[in-house]
Amino acid sequence: MEQSKRPARDTRLESIEPSIPLVWDYGVFAYYRRRLAAMSKPLHRRAAPPSPSSTQSRLTADERRLQIIESARQVFQRTGLAGARTRDIAAAAGVNESLLYRHFRSKEELFEAAVAAPLEEAVGKLVELSGTPPVEFDSTGDLMYERTYRFVLDLMSAMDEIGPLLGIMLFGQADHAAEYFQERIEPSLQQIRKVVDANMVAWSHREFDSDLTVRLTLGMTWFLSISDKLSGQRRDPSATASSITKMLLEGLASPQGSGTATRPRVRKSAPRKRPDNR
């Protein structure tokens, strides 16, 4: 008769504290049974959260800088300059603070870039599109309308992004405002004026001060953006840009019947005098 097979010997108990004699009463048995149960449970480790770099495609340095600027602008609009923290900006951009500081030395420098970048981008588009006057004289005014309309639309978009922040920069940072304006805003104004002057010969117009016109246009779009935000009014950007363009060009155009000026004279801006604070 075939002998019945004995179950395999479980040696796990023997490996537990072998130097202690086993006394097989109920309490000791229950203790080692709990130890065995604990040893047989798999370990559950919390997975580390993915790093920001692993969740995003690799960006160039310029793209990363732009990403940080755009995220910072959103944080600044919610909290202002004083309430914004670099770690919050870094989190919004999906980077760590050390990477943020590779691009910007301080929160203040990042704020300046966040305010100036959209305006500089709009001016760059203007220079690219209209920096060179047309080969032929624009007798119908259609080309000047299209160039002016496109710039006003881009300028409105820029002001929609930076309008409140520009106010904070110029009126909330009194010790820094003049320097910032001269270094970041004034160069953009001068570039716009140069484009206007370069196109003077291409259309029929009254004699006008190009520098004054540029500053009025910038101020008009800025205040329009601020007032609409505060009042909750929504305007159609295309229709608004068209209205502003018509006011500018129709106001500056040569009177009817005065003939077409092929080379109008440009009125240069008078140098602005510094106020006498004595």
pLDDT at 31: 59
Residues 169, 101 contacting (CB under 8 angstroms): no
Q: Which residue in the block uniquely carries the two structure tokens 């992004």?
A: 161
* pLDDT beneath 50, residues of the chain: 1, 13, 18-24, 42-50, 52-55, 257-268, 275, 277-278
Of the CA atoms within 13 Å of residue 123, those in its CB half-sphere come to: 21
Question: pLDDT of 76-102, one tens digit each?
Answer: 888 877 788 999 999 999 999 999 999
Phi/psi of residue 31, each to 5°? -60, -50
pLDDT at 33: 59
Rounded CA separation 157/163 (Å): 10
Q: Is 80 left (phi over 0), alpha (psi -120 to 50) or beta?
A: left
Q: Which residue in the block uniquely carries the two structure tokens 């004026």?
A: 193
Of the CA atoms within 13 Å of residue 55, those in its CB half-sphere come to: 7
Give the predicted TM-score (pTM) of the model.
Answer: 0.66
Tokens of 114: 């966040």
Give the contacts of 113 (CB within 8 A, at least 6 positions apart).
69, 72, 104
Task: List helix spans (H) across the chain.
Answer: 26-40, 52-55, 61-83, 86-93, 97-103, 107-130, 142-171, 177-180, 186-198, 210-231, 237-252
Displacement of CA 34 from its chain's centroid (Å): 59
Give the contacts of 107 (CB within 8 A, at least 6 positions apart).
81, 84, 85, 86, 89
Amino acid (1-letter code) at residue 218? L
CA angle, 153 then 158 then 273, to 5°: 100
Amino acid (1-letter code) at residue 62? D
Tokens of 230: 């505060």
pLDDT at 11: 56
pLDDT at 156: 95
pLDDT at 161: 86
pLDDT at 44: 46
